[in-house]
Amino acid sequence: MSLIAEQSAGRHQPGELAPTAAELADARSRFGAPGRNAVVMTMGALHEGHATLIRAARERVGADGFVVVTVFVNPLQFGAGEDLDRYPRTLDADLALAFAAGASVVFAPSADEVYPGGEPQVRITAGPMGERLEGASRPGHFDGMLTVVAKLLHLTGPDLAFFGQKDAQQLALIRRMVRDLNFPVEIVGVPTVREDDGLALSSRNRYLSPEERHTALALSRALFAARDRLAAQAALRARADALLGDPGRAENRAEALSRLGEARAAADAHAVAQAAEGRGAEAVRAAARAVLDDACHAEPPLALDYLALVDPADFTEVEDGHDGEAILAVAARVGTTRLIDNIPLTFGVVK
């Protein structure tokens, strides 16, 4: 079934809906794309965050490239009591958004097409990283996610695959799978897209009442508070280093920070002390937790699942004194809606 859509690359191309792998292969052969191939995997209910991924894919492969957007609500990713049946299906709107953003083909298979004969007996296992945070809250979720991503990579055969950084643990696991199992594809992470009020774009946002949405803003506010605390810590340490002057002097950074605190009546003594001791990770967690604790007493309340400051390589908690990249991740429920968010942070100087 063919639809005509104006591509974001500035030309007109046939935008096709392919419900089967055979139709996808046929569309690719007829497209005759001389450029590179890219895929954006989604579960539908597309929004501006997905459009950003599709535009990024189109930009990377160019006007002559081939961009596949997959729309498949994967049953393997939903555990008992989760919202598989409730998950929104909006294929007509998805097609319009995907083609306007630059998709060549939307591959929207049925469950029988992806899993002929029922759920697969052989699956990808996420390993220890898949048992932490989201994996602990949703057992088996990442095994199901990696299984379908592996299948879709085989079916779409891309040079590049684009995923949002909002699902940071998912992105890290996909990168690990591709590296460990030698998939010939480059995984590209795209920064989280947020609404004007800071809430990370999600298909589940539509379930929030106005009052629940107000409470849900605590997730992004907590992350931003942590980011600001880290920046303040770094500024204090930099000012202390500037006070040190001659490195041969006996005065150390802690003493310099103490003098800064004494010199400024409005200084945050706790922040000064933590900056002096290199306790950046603890301060970052505390800043985020304070915002979330307030939201837990709001009406309606936020029910915190986890707040974690982790190493992006394996999603283990980082300790105080950590230097390098980290991810501050949060998950919570507001009403019946579960939301996740995260923000990348850099501690110290990354060499």
Distances (CA, A) of 117 to 112, 113, 224, 336: 7, 9, 47, 33
Asked whether the beta carbons of 109 and 19 are under 8 A apart, the reply is yes
Task: Determine the residue type at 303.
Answer: A
At residue 350's C-alpha, the angle toward residues 344 and 351, to 5°, is 150
SS3 state of residue 74: coil
Q: Is the CB of residue 331 less than 8 Å from the CB of residue 324?
A: no
Positions marked catalytic: 50
Measuring CA to CA, which residue among 180, 296, 275 is closest to residue 232? 275
Q: Tokens 């992470």 map to which residue?
A: 189
